[in-house]
Amino acid sequence: MNKKLFVFIAVLCFLEVVLSNPPPLCPPCTYSATGDSSSSPCTNCPSGLCTKDAATVGQDPSVCTIKPCPKGKYSSSGFDYSQFGLFCNNCPPGTTTASSQTSGNSPQVCNVTLKACAKGSYSASGYDTDGSGAGCTACTAGTSTPNIQTTGTDQSVCTLTLKACPKGNYSSSGFDTDGSGSGAGCTPCTAGTSTPNTQTKGIDQSVCTLKACAKGNYSASGFDNDGSGTGCTGCTAGTSTPNTQTIGVDQSICTVTLKTCPAGSYSVSSFDTDGNGSGCNKCAVNTYSAQGATSCTSCTNNRTSPAGSTAVTACVCPQGTSGPTDGVSSCSTTSSGSINTLFISLFFILMCLF
C-alpha cells in the first residue's frame, strides 16, 4: 500500500523534473527533427540563411527559407523576417548600411552616408551605393543628366545633349558639361598653345600640342600643325606680322614693313623685327658691320674697335703699336722702334766724340 504510493510519488517527481527541464529549443537559424535538442543537436542553417523562428522542425536545410536584409535595409534580426513579423526596412534616402544582414530597430544603423550621383550619371536611387561613387551609371559620351542626383534605370534620363569642347580647349570627356556651347567645363589651353581638333579629351595641358606661329609667320589657325613649327608660313624677307599667332592664308597678312639693321648692328634676317629698330644687335667690340648685316666682321691683325663700329676703318692698332689707318694693315711696335733709334743715335754721337 505504502509501496504503491511511494512509486506513484516517485513517478510524479520524475515527470516534474522532466517537464520543468525540457531539452533546449533550437535557436533561430538552426533546426532539428524535433525542434529541440532532445533527439539530436540543432543543425546550423547554411551561411546567410535563417529559419523563420526558433524551435524549427526540419530534416534538411530547406527549412532555412529566410534571407538576410541586403545592404541598405535592416531589421531587428538582420533577416527579412523578424520575430515581430516585420520585413526589412529601407534606409532613409542618401544612407545605407555598412553591410547586409544589419540588425537594428531604427534608421541609426544606416550609418553610411551616400553621395548623390554626379551630373552626367544616374542610379535607381539617385545616390551611389557606397559613398565613394560606385553604383552610378555614366551617360554615354556626348549626353548628360540635367542635374546631380538623377534617378533612373537607363540612358533615357540622359536628356542633355552636350557640345564638343572647341579647339584650344579640352575636358575629360571632350564635351562641355551643360550643352550650352559656351565651353562650360572645358579647360582652355594656356596662351600660345592649342589642340589640333575640337572634342579633345584630356586631363591636363599635355593635350595642347599646337604652338602659336612666331611673329613673322602665319597659318590658317595661327598655330603650327604639331608643335614642331611645321604649318606656319614665313613672311617674305623685309616683312612681318604685328603679332605671334597670326591667322592668315597669304602674304597680305604680313603688314609690317621691316627696316634693314643699321651699320654697326646685325640680325639673322638682316632686318629688325618690328619696323621700329628692335631685334638688331649691336656689334661687339673688335668687330664692325655695314647696314643690313646678318653678322659682324672681326678686326684683323690684332686691331681693336669699339662696340657698334660701322666700318673696317674703325679697327685701329692696339696701344703701343702703330700702322696705317686703313683698318687692316699689320701694326708695328712704335715704342721699341723709338728706343732703337735712340740707341743708334747715341752710338753715332759717341762715335763722333771719340
Ligand X SMILES: *[C@@H]1O[C@H](CO)[C@@H](O)[C@H](O)[C@H]1NC(C)=O
Contacting residues toward ligand X, per CB under 6 A: 97-98, 102, 109, 111, 166, 168-169, 183, 188-189, 194, 213-214, 216-217, 229, 232, 234, 242, 256, 274-276, 301-302, 330
Q: What angle do CA 4, 8, 11 make, to 5 degrees?
A: 140
Q: How far is the CB of 193 from ligand X (least distance, A)?
A: 7
**By C-beta, is 82 or 149 nearer to ligand X?**
82
Are 173 and 192 in contact by the 8 Å Cβ rule? The answer is: no
**By C-beta, is 32 or 82 nearer to ligand X?**
82
**By C-beta, is 96 or 125 nearer to ligand X?**
96
Q: How far is the CB of 167 from ligand X (least distance, A)?
A: 6
Closest by alpha carbon to 130, among 113, 109, 108?
Answer: 113
Q: How far is the CB of 97 from ligand X (least distance, A)?
A: 6
**By C-beta, is 139 or 232 nearer to ligand X?**
232
**By C-beta, is 154 or 250 nearer to ligand X?**
250
Q: How far is the CB of 126 from ligand X (least distance, A)?
A: 22
The grid coordinates listed for 133 are: 561613387
At residue 331, what is the residue type? C
**By C-beta, is 157 or 213 nearer to ligand X?**
213
Are 170 and 201 in contact by the 8 Å Cβ rule? The answer is: yes
Q: How far is the CB of 78 from ligand X (least distance, A)?
A: 9
**By C-beta, is 161 or 302 nearer to ligand X?**
302
**By C-beta, is 158 or 232 nearer to ligand X?**
232
Q: How far is the CB of 211 from ligand X (least distance, A)?
A: 7
Using CB atoms, what's the residue nearest to ligand X?
168
Q: How far is the CB of 333 from ligand X (least distance, A)?
A: 9
CB atoms within 10 A of CB 254: 22
At residue 346, what is the residue type? L
Q: How far is the CB of 177 from ligand X (least distance, A)?
A: 14
**By C-beta, is 32 or 187 nearer to ligand X?**
187
Q: How far is the CB of 274 from ligand X (least distance, A)?
A: 4
